Amino acid sequence: MAPTDPILDARNIHAWYGSSHVLHGIDLKIARGETVGLLGRNGMGKSTLIRTLLGHVTQRDGQIHLFGHDVSKSKPHEVARRGVAYVPEGRGVFPNLTVRENLIMAARPSREASRGWSYERVLETFPRLTERLTNLGSQLSGGEQQMVSIGRALMTQPDLVILDEATEGLAPLIVNEIWNVIGDIRDSGIATLIVDRDFRRVLEHSDNALVLQKGLVELAGPASKVADDPALSGLLGV
Amino acid sequence: MRKAITIIKDEHRALAAVLRGLEYLIGQIRDGKQKPDFALFKSMLAYVKDFPDKLHHPKEDEYVYHTLRERDPSAAPMLDELEDEHRCGPEFIQRVATALQEYERDPSRFDAFAKAMAEYTQFQWEHMRKEEDVILPLAEKSLLPEDWTEIDSAFGSNADPLVGVGTQKEFRDLFRKVVNLMPAPMGLGPEAK
């Protein structure tokens, strides 16, 4: 794989839930270190696309390559092993595990110690978690849970992080801190795929963006061009 | 959207988040739901005082406003007004800091502190609204591509064009401290009891 090749190359992706055909041939490429924004109204296929890329949707078709490896038919744990971390909508923190256990359960050693996301670096980034290490996931506030979810994703030493509604339901101070952390993730050379309701912020922080409408890509390109496209407000219903 | 404008709006959001946090804390104290945390108040006031003054306004004045004056002379009255507001902001927030000191010494001074804070917050909302609704769109329309190349290049590096990485990190750390001290659900700190 050449350094300039996309780390994720998904082509003509289709997905179904039962008899319902949800995705109708989507193409998506993400380069190393690139930030891509995924936009669209509710029910247009954003989460299904993410779940399909991660191997969670079994009724799927099309080609998905990660770092040059064909993962079109791979299971979720096989996709994760290829360096993809997922921060799910709803956070997915294990309620019966402590913060420490939630963080270290998925930890992997970094290939580059100086750039990796160690346990210490995660706690430095989210200092509040240091005080909550022995608390159970169920005892955390929504903001703390989100920090655990992001921290856990980073400790897998990913090359690509997928953030699905990472700021949903959180207060402005926490939302702002999460966007700061997303900036840190980007600065550390990790590629990101971001879904968030604050489309302006997504576009401001992304290199490229695509807008889904009824399971099809209706708008795609450099984020600054997508932001200025007169069709955007209609597609997002704003 | 231009890189410089993205950064300016991002900084407005950070400032707005802290102002909202201050409004929330004052409301909680007024409703008897929370006791004052003066260390938190002081950290938040330090942020709203120093962040605009040291990092945010200089970039607006030196780069965007300065160039807009040259490209669109009709913007001058509004730019004068905004630059005046930049100048008087520190004095305004100092009055709030003084009111906070008095409140810390004498709890009966809470209303005076809350009033000073509300006036400052209103002033900042109005100021940012003028910038985002009038001046930034005007700049996007009036500045030439070569102006933006220069401005975006200055804004786009990791190091802030005027104050450097150290000061940026200082404010990032201060913001993080505020987020971690602010009680949940507004922040990551312990819930108020």
Token pair listed for A47:
């989460």
In a domain, A48, yes or no: yes
**A-B Cβ pairs (cutoff 8 Å, strict):** 66
Which residue's structure tokens are 């879904």?
A: A195
Count of domains forming chain B: 1
Measured between CA atoms, the residue of chain A closest to residue B19 is: A173
Interchain proximity A144–B188, CB inside 8 Å: yes
pLDDT at A154 over 70: yes
Q: Inspect the interface and report whether the beta carbons of A173 and B189 lie closer than 8 Å.
A: no
Ramachandran bin of A82, using left for φ above 0, alpha for ψ from -120 to 50, beta for the remaining angles: alpha
- Rounded to an integer, the average pLDDT of A135-154 is 95
CA B107/CA B115 separation, integer angstroms? 14
The answer to whether B133 faces chain A, any CB pair under 8 Å, is no
Per the CB < 8 A criterion, the answer to whether A105 and A153 are in contact is no
User: The pTM is what?
Assistant: 0.88
Count of C-beta atoms within a 10 Å radius of residue B71: 14
Indicate whether B193 belongs to any domain. Answer: no
pLDDT tier at B164 (50, 70, 90 boundaries)?
low
Enumerate the residues of chain B whose CB falls inside 8 A of the CB of residue A174: 179, 186-188
Tokens of A94: 């294990």
| Three-class SS state of B118 | helix
Taken in order B10, B12, B14, B17, the sign of the CA dihedral is negative
Q: Is residue B187 part of a domain?
A: no
CB atoms under 10 Å from CB of A109, counted, come to 8
Please name the amino acid found at residue B154: A
Residue A211 domain flag:
yes
CATH number, residue A205: 3.40.50.300
> C-alpha B62: how far from its chain's center?
17
pLDDT tens digits, residue range B123-157?
Answer: 999 999 999 999 999 999 999 999 999 898 887 65
Place of tokens 């993400």: A30
Per DSSP, which regions of A67-122 are E strands?
69-70, 84-87
Tell me the backbone φ, ψ of residue B38, rounded to 5 degrees. -70, -30
B98 in contact with chain A, both atoms CB, cutoff 8 A: no
- Between A49-53, A147-151, B109-113, B159-163, the lowest mean confidence (pLDDT) is in B159-163
Give domain status of residue B21, yes or no. yes
Is the ipTM higher than 0.85? The answer is no
B18–chain A Cβ distance below 8 A for any pair: yes
Residue A108 lies in a domain: no
- Please answer yes or no on whether B187 and A143 come within 8 Å at the CB atom: yes
What is the extent of the structural domain holding A51? 1-82+197-229
Q: For B86-131, what is each residue's pLDDT tens digit?
A: 999 999 999 999 999 999 999 999 999 999 999 999 999 999 999 9
| Contact predicate A175/B17, CB 8 Å | yes
Return residues 100-129 of B near A (CB < 8 Å). none
The per-residue pLDDT for range B74-87, each reduced to its tens digit, is 999 999 999 999 99
Domain hosting B80: range is 3-181
